[in-house]
Structure 1
Amino acid sequence: MTSFLCLPAISTPPPSLTRASFRGRSITHFQNRLCRIGVKCSYAEAGVVDDLKSAPIDVVADVKSERVVVLGGSGFVGSAICKAAVTKGIEVVSLSRSGRPTYPGSWVDQVTWIPGDVFYANWDEVLVGATAVVSTLGGFGSDEQMQRINGEANVVAVGAAKDFGIPKFILISVHDYNLPSFLLSSGYFTGKRKAESEVLSKYPNSGVVLRPGFIYGKRKVDGFEIPLDLIGKPLERILSATESFTKPLSSLPASDLLLAPPVSVDDVALAVINGITDDDFFGIFTIEQIKEAAAKVKA
């Protein structure tokens, strides 16, 4: 523990503590953030000059790594994100209805698995100490079911994260494939876009929306492994190699159903890691931008 003698109170903060350097956030926000990441400090309220002159400030350097909450962490994309985060030294908590996955893996033991439903979650338990939330929530079914899981569930999660003061929210959404508007009116797409709007409105300067197309990799379903990479990987290479020839066709309705390149689940996961660690990474990201973000983390 190191003690520093406080200087007399000043009417404005020094240059390093100006409002611009805090990106518009209050000093109280950062005091709360420091508490969550393990930096202990004692300070006097502004204006108590006598105390500031005489009272030492105790600082204990106990800075921890990022802590991310992955919603749907036991699923195909969610598990890849959990694994990538653990590999990068990030503390991981997963909230999903199935809880801990049944398949083995050294990284599995390093994740805190919480079984539960987003609509009934104990957010005080799930979000404590978190620096980012990643949502992989989504699914197919009736229009009503898709609106609920793709849209409403994510809206609930974004609201909880914002209320709890979590500084960043990352949503795994979907590419629109250049589909005509009447096809984009299905519950799947309208739910996803509703979730996107919620992220971008609540987190205008730190929200991340990833829009991948077909995601390939080794997907585990009921104890069986489906090698989606056997299709996705060669298709990605073919479409990338022929992009200069097929690009003029991209303006045709629904053309991206055939022309949008697949993206590996590992690249999606690494793009998420980039979003967690890079404060300048926010907004909507296309398939190509997802791959570029993943490449930054690989480098």
Structure 2
Amino acid sequence: MTSFLSVPAVSGGPIPNALFSLKTPSIQTLSISTHTPSPTFHFNPNRLAIRSSYADAGVRDDSRSSTIDVVADVRSERIVVLGGSGFVGSAISKAAVSKGIEVISLSRSGRPTYPDAWVDQVTWVSGDVFNVNWDEVLVGATAVVSTLGGFGSEEQMKRINGEANVVAVNAAKEYGIPKFILISVHDYNLPQFLLTNGYFTGKRKAESEVLSKYPGSGIVLRPGFIYGKRRVDGFEIPLDLVGEPAERILKAIENFTKPLSSLPASDLLLAPPVSVDDVASAVINGVTDDDFFGVFTIDQIKEAAEKVRA
């Protein structure tokens, strides 16, 4: 289910009294008053505005003195990527940096060892959500993006896929972060006994927490198999050599495979892979578009990615 909310982002009235404002937690205000020929500056750390009044500056309307109030908002994004040095997390961090978004990464491994230029533009914090000092990472953030997840024993999967994300969601909510974006997993049509393992139950628990704490701004992305060039212990695994051809083939024959989608476990073969770059671009769309929230399927992730690249 996908939710959409249309809210007028700009409100205005006829000049000479016009006010344009966009509410965001990371906006600064500078006020300029020209009641006399020498302007007076007022600084407010939460908004950036320019206000100009010419009533006493020798500029007058035929019927009355003119006053023009204009608030010019400058929005800057600062995101926290949980697991930012991992396969998906690093792609998100790289995409965000390329869009001028400030990035803080929290992961156990901290800064990656490879020498890519974008790495120097990210603030790397070593740690995990169960022990981190949130003051070091969440203050001033406009969104939290969680890529936390993994496989292991039943208890390990419940902890990293579920509990870790629940902790992160509640910390973000407590610090007043306006958005939370979760990288989850496709809703596979597997037999119920397979969906009760720790991986899937953990992911769904995390989804419920995001959607309940952030009903109007929480984002859950549900990709299937994610492909790209994955670095593991200094080696690069080219998952795109498998994922990209598979995605193209399934796209070409989707009209023939749709009738098969109702068969149990058919998603294991028929759910199209998703490029890690598409996932990253969809996240950027979620960070910058306030009308983008809810649960997003594989096709919707790709559509969101196209909006960013357009």
Please classify the TM superposition score into its range, dividing by the shorter chain length: 0.7 to 0.9
Checking the alignment, whether the CA contact within 8 Å between 2:30 and 2:41 is kept in structure 1 is: no
Q: 1:40 to 1:183 in 2, by over 3 A?
A: farther
Report the Cα offset of residue 189 of structure 1. 0.1
Report the Cα offset of residue 16 of structure 1. 4.8
Q: In structure 2, give the amino acid aligned to 1:279.
A: D
* SS across alignment from 2:259: helix
Checking the alignment, whether the CA contact within 8 Å between 1:176 and 1:184 is kept in structure 2 is: no
Once residues 133 and 282 of structure 1 are traced to their aligned partners in structure 2, the CA distance between those partners, rounded to angstroms, is 14
Which residue is equivalent to 2:232?
A: 221
Which residue is equivalent to 1:73?
A: 84
Q: In structure 2, give the amino acid aligned to 1:287.
A: I
Q: 1:97 aligns with which of 96, 105, 108?
A: 108
Checking the alignment, whether the CA contact within 8 Å between 1:37 and 1:129 is kept in structure 2 is: no
Which residue is equivalent to 1:124?
A: 135
Once residues 175 and 235 of structure 2 are traced to their aligned partners in structure 1, the CA distance between those partners, rounded to angstroms, is 38
Which residue is equivalent to 1:58?
A: 42
Checking the alignment, whether the CA contact within 8 Å between 2:144 and 2:172 is kept in structure 1 is: yes
State the identity %: 80
Which residue is equivalent to 1:87?
A: 98
Once residues 29 and 105 of structure 2 are traced to their aligned partners in structure 1, the CA distance between those partners, rounded to angstroms, is 24
Report the Cα offset of residue 212 of structure 1. 0.2
Q: In structure 1, give the amino acid aligned to 2:300.
A: Q
* SS across alignment from 1:159: helix
Q: In structure 2, give the amino acid aligned to 1:182.
A: F
Q: 2:254 aligns with which of 243, 257, 268?
A: 243
1:157-212 Cα deviation digits (max 9, x unpaired):
00000000000000000012211211100000000000000000000000000000
Residues 1:295 and 2:306 aligned together:
yes
RMSD: 1.8
Residues 1:189 and 2:173 aligned together:
no
- Normalised to the residue count of structure 2, the TM-score between the two structures is 0.79
Unaligned runs of 5+ in 2: 1-9, 13-22, 32-39, 49-72
Checking the alignment, whether the CA contact within 8 Å between 2:227 and 2:243 is kept in structure 1 is: yes
Once residues 150 and 39 of structure 1 are traced to their aligned partners in structure 2, the CA distance between those partners, rounded to angstroms, is 40
Unaligned runs of 5+ in 1: 1-14, 18-29, 42-55
Once residues 220 and 115 of structure 2 are traced to their aligned partners in structure 1, the CA distance between those partners, rounded to angstroms, is 30
Report the Cα offset of residue 126 of structure 1. 0.6
Q: 1:16 to 1:37 in 2, by over 3 A?
A: closer
* SS across alignment from 1:119: coil
Once residues 57 and 255 of structure 1 are traced to their aligned partners in structure 2, the CA distance between those partners, rounded to angstroms, is 65
| Higher radius of gyration, 1 or 2 | 2
Which residue is equivalent to 2:172?
A: 161
Report the Cα offset of residue 103 of structure 1. 0.7
Once residues 135 and 117 of structure 1 are traced to their aligned partners in structure 2, the CA distance between those partners, rounded to angstroms, is 12
Report the Cα offset of residue 38 of structure 1. 3.8
Checking the alignment, whether the CA contact within 8 Å between 1:68 and 1:93 is kept in structure 2 is: yes
Runs of 4+ displaced beyond 4 Å: none
Q: How many residues align?
A: 256
* SS across alignment from 2:304: helix
Q: 1:175 aligns with which of 176, 186, 189?
A: 186
Once residues 68 and 139 of structure 1 are traced to their aligned partners in structure 2, the CA distance between those partners, rounded to angstroms, is 22
Checking the alignment, whether the CA contact within 8 Å between 2:111 and 2:125 is kept in structure 1 is: yes
- Normalised to the residue count of structure 1, the TM-score between the two structures is 0.82
